[in-house]
Amino acid sequence: MSASKRDELFAKLFSPEGKPSALEGIKVVELSTSNLVGSMVGGLLRELGADVIRVEPPEGDPLHDVSPYGAKLKGLGIPYLIENAGKKVVRLDLEREEDRGELRKLLTSCDVVIDALKPGLLDSMNLGYRSISNENPKVIYVAISPYGHFSKKAEEMSNVPDSDLTAQAYNGYPSLIGNPSIRPIPLRAGIWAAWAMAAICAVTGVLVALYERSKSGKGQFVDIATHEALAAIHIYPIIAGFLFGRPRPQYGFLDYLLYPFGVYKTKDGYITIATPFDTDFRALLKLIKRWDLEPDWKYSIDRVTDDVNRIVELDREIRRELMKYSSEDLIKKSLSRGLMPEALRRLVGRPVIVKSYTLKEALGEKHWYVRRSILRVRVDDKEVLVPNSPFRMSETPGRMPVEKMFTQEVLTKEVLVAMTSTRSEERISDS
């Protein structure tokens, strides 16, 4: 099949037009005042079609203001708009008895509760899992907090609010990033890596619990600690400690497993290089005409060691050499090797070289618009770009409801009463 024919077929297969969503009919109540990671969890579930009701304080959620350097669109911060588009909002003052009653009705009639508040707070109002699950045994209660809802530390730290940066720190991430010969202090990852990982773990937990509930008819408690998830998913920090009994040194400009594997500067820009195998590395040497380095650095075991100083020697040579070429030139040379049959290519090797784009350059790629990876949204006289849902599913496509970004539905008391009078089993039969 030709590439264009294949493209056409797949574009059709994955078209979202007129298709259902995976979580249609699932009702989620999100409590995440001033804690964006809770909204990220609710945001992903919403993309899968769940009906998410967000509980906000009457005076408005401080999350409205959270945005890169405070940038706002129609009075709201960027993460708030992206994560909460398409959710319904109910304004409740949890200090008031009456409003707590309303919340209880919501919690006892929903399928999923997202608790991103201070651990134990809902329980202290008799609205935690132990009370809710009594009345609503099918409820899936997902808690997301810095240190979780059980363990001694969880209790001791329960008054410390969450942030991505502190979660990165406690997962040991910044200790790996950066170049100690330039600045010997830990360095933050430039996106919300720890929160993103914790949020997707929470979503995974909710989904598996929903699936299990369709067999057992029962819900359960899902506990996610943002200060725990990243390092456990990455595996390395734990097994490095077990195998070597000492911390890995800060190594941000190199990789612990492969060399080269990172960002490199060229004559006219930046590229990333990955050479997973010895043959790939040797192909790189040929490509930059430095075969003289081959005898000393032939094997991975030569190039990857805990002796940083040794690799720095090689790294300096490679960096100097790459500066002589344009990015395009290097990419073209590496790609020409991709045209060989697979078996032959394995023997002769190929470094995987692609451009390391600035964001502006990246967003210029046509690919994202062909696939609708990035959505264009008109806001007054401006066009704003919003990442689409990453759930590319042929039957139940994930959807980023950009059309609802500025039209938040606020539920009145009357609507709330009507909604909470039906229980989950009446809305969907999932067994």
Partner 1 sequence: MSDYFEYVEKLFKNGEKRDPPLRGIKVLEMTHYIYGPTVGMVLARLGAEVVKVEPIGEGDRFRVGALWMRMFKKANLHYLVLNANKYSITLDARNAKAREILFKLASKVDVFVENLRAGLLDALGLGYAHLSKVNPRIIYVSCSGYGQYGPLSRAPSFDVSAQGIIGLAMKTGWPDVDEFYKLPDYFGDYFPAMVATAAVLAALYYRERTGKGQYIDATQAESLFRFFYDVTYLSLTGEEIGKTGNVDPLAIASGIFTTSDGRFVAIAIMDEEQLSALSKAMNVDLLGSYKGKLRTKECVSELNGLISKWASTKTLEEIMSCAKAYGFPAAPVLTDLDVYKDPWRWERGSTIEFEDRMYGKVHIPNLPIHLSATPPKVKWLGRPVGYHNRLVLKRWLGYTDEEIKKLEEEGVIGYWDQAPGMCPPDAWDIDNDPVFKGERDECE
Asked if 10 touches partner 1 (CB under 8 A), the answer is yes
**Residue 179 neighbours by CB under 8 Å, 6+ apart:** 250, 252, 253
Q: Which stretch binds partner 1 (CB under 8 A): 84-92, 94-102, 303-311, 411-419?
A: 303-311
DSSP designation for 240: H
CA dist 269 and 262 (Å) reads: 14
Shorter beta-carbon distance to partner 1: residue 230 or 411: 230
Shorter beta-carbon distance to partner 1: residue 163 or 408: 163
Shorter beta-carbon distance to partner 1: residue 96 or 218: 218
CB of 412 to partner 1, least distance (A): 27
Q: 32-61: which residues touch partner 1 (CB under 8 A)?
A: 34, 36, 40, 44, 48
Q: Which one of 16, 57, 66, 406 is in contact with partner 1 (CB under 8 A)? A: 66
Tokens of 252: 């941000």
- Cα-Cα-Cα-Cα dihedral sign, residues 350, 352, 353, 354: positive
Asked if 363 touches partner 1 (CB under 8 A), the answer is yes
Residues of 314-346 as b/e, b for ≥16 C-beta within 10 angstroms?
Answer: bbebbeebbeebebeebbebbeebeeeeeeebe
Asked if 387 touches partner 1 (CB under 8 A), the answer is yes
Shorter beta-carbon distance to partner 1: residue 5 or 98: 5
Asked if 408 touches partner 1 (CB under 8 A), the answer is no
| Site track 221-260 with partner 1 (rule: CB under 8 A), x = hit | xxxxx-xxx-xxxxxxxxxxxxxxxxxx--xxx-xxxx--
Within 13 Å of residue 392, how many CA atoms lie on the same side as its CB? 13
Give the interface size with partner 1 as a residue count (CB under 8 A).
Answer: 192
Q: 259-278: which residues touch partner 1 (CB under 8 A)?
A: 261-263, 265, 270-274, 276-277
CB of 202 to partner 1, least distance (A): 8
CB of 407 to partner 1, least distance (A): 18
Asked if 313 touches partner 1 (CB under 8 A), the answer is no
**Residue 327 neighbours by CB under 8 Å, 6+ apart:** 266, 267, 268, 269, 270, 271, 355
Q: Which stretch binds partner 1 (CB under 8 A): 98-106, 281-289, 350-358, 416-424?
A: 350-358
CA dist 312 and 309 (Å) reads: 5
Shorter beta-carbon distance to partner 1: residue 140 or 411: 140
Shorter beta-carbon distance to partner 1: residue 109 or 170: 170
Shorter beta-carbon distance to partner 1: residue 7 or 409: 7
CB of 111 to partner 1, least distance (A): 11
Shorter beta-carbon distance to partner 1: residue 170 or 420: 170
Determine how many CB atoms are found less than 10 A away from the CB of residue 399.
Answer: 18
Contact 54, 78 (CB under 8 A): no
| Site track 76-95 with partner 1 (rule: CB under 8 A), x = hit | --xx-xx-------------
Q: Which one of 84, 109, 145, 389 is in contact with partner 1 (CB under 8 A)? A: 389
CB of 419 to partner 1, least distance (A): 21
Asked if 201 touches partner 1 (CB under 8 A), the answer is yes
Element (H, E) at 145: strand 140-145
Contact 175, 241 (CB under 8 A): no
Asked if 283 touches partner 1 (CB under 8 A), the answer is no
The CA angle 145-148-151, to the nearest 5 degrees, is 155
Contact 107, 139 (CB under 8 A): yes
Instruction: Calculate Rg over the CA atoms of the chain.
Output: 25
410 phi/psi in degrees, rounded to 5 = -100, 125
In terms of Cβ atoms closer than 10 Å to its own Cβ (0-12, 13-18, 19+), residue 224 is buried
CB of 30 to partner 1, least distance (A): 17
Q: 109-168: which residues touch partner 1 (CB under 8 A)?
A: 119-120, 123-124, 128-130, 146-168
Asked if 415 touches partner 1 (CB under 8 A), the answer is no
Asked if 298 touches partner 1 (CB under 8 A), the answer is no
Q: Which stretch binds partner 1 (CB under 8 A): 88-96, 219-227, 284-292, 415-423?
A: 219-227
Of the candidates 401, 422, 431, the one whose C-alpha atom is nearest the C-alpha of residue 88 is: 401
CA dist 316 and 73 (Å) reads: 45
The CA angle 351-372-4, to the nearest 5 degrees, is 65
